[in-house]
Amino acid sequence: MQVIRSIKEMQAFSESARQQGKTIVLVPTMGFLHEGHATLMREGRKKGDVLVISIFVNPAQFGPGEDYEQYPRDWESDVKIAESAGVDCIFTPDAGEMYPDGFQTTVSLSQVTGNLCGIYRPTHFQGVATVVAKLFNCTKPHRALFGEKDFQQLVVIRRMVKDLNFDIQVSGVPTVREPDGLAMSSRNLYLNTEQRAAAVSLSRALLEAQKMFKAGERNAGVLMEAARKIIEGEHGTTIDYIKICDVETLEDIQRIAQPVVMALAVRIGKARLIDNIVLNG
């Protein structure tokens, strides 16, 4: 497994693979890898000849007062997990390599970033879209895999790829969960024992809404209120949002008659956790 820190070296590596007729698969990450990332990597291993992961904690997607400096990092563990998943190359540039002096270009999307996390983190998806566009140009993949836990991010990347004519196939991989249902996240590290127990309310709320939907409920407000009661029933939870949206436009839906995603964001202690479920896919 190679570790590459230079953009020019990464581009040369990928160009050589392409000239040999090999298919490159990219799994972008911010490191502190866990089983959710490993699942993405194992899936990527099946889909191409060369598996590249990026490990880069992207300062551009953190807003003022967010946890960029505190974001967990564990290089030794990341290397072991990547090796065990069959990764061929880790691309891990530093911030100065990705954003050199004078950097001033960004990628912005006007609509799909306006709801859900975009309301509470107004600069976040500009940072995400910009860094992913750069990672695509650095690693030159044929395919890229993203976790469906970050559903809005997946929608944003698919929209960017379509709008800017990237010749890359973007695939979503289902959310990986702990045995009790909590979606795996690097930020779960922030939770103490009591908060960790409360965090399970996110998946319980989504499953209750899914159960009600399968029983025939189509009023989005009724489903959201049921989810809200479950989460607010736990001590120390603060809801940023619970919404039901069209899976492509991410516009709010009042009555469900098309594929929708129920998405939520909840603050518990230092952690801001997100989760979602597609109700009518």
- Residues with catalytic function: 37
Category of 236 on φ-ψ map: left (φ > 0), alpha (ψ -120 to 50) or beta:
left
157: Cα within 13 Å, side-chain hemisphere:
26
Beta sheet of 260-268, edge-to-edge order: 237-246, 260-268, 271-278
Contact 56, 98 (CB under 8 A): yes
As to burial, measured by CB atoms within 10 angstroms (0-12 exposed, 13-18 middle, 19+ buried), residue 257 is: exposed
The CA–CA distances, whole Å, from 53 to 50, 141, 162, 167, 191 equal 10, 10, 22, 18, 27
Measured distance CA(69)–CA(76) in Å, rounded: 19
Which amino acid, one-letter code, is at 267? Answer: R
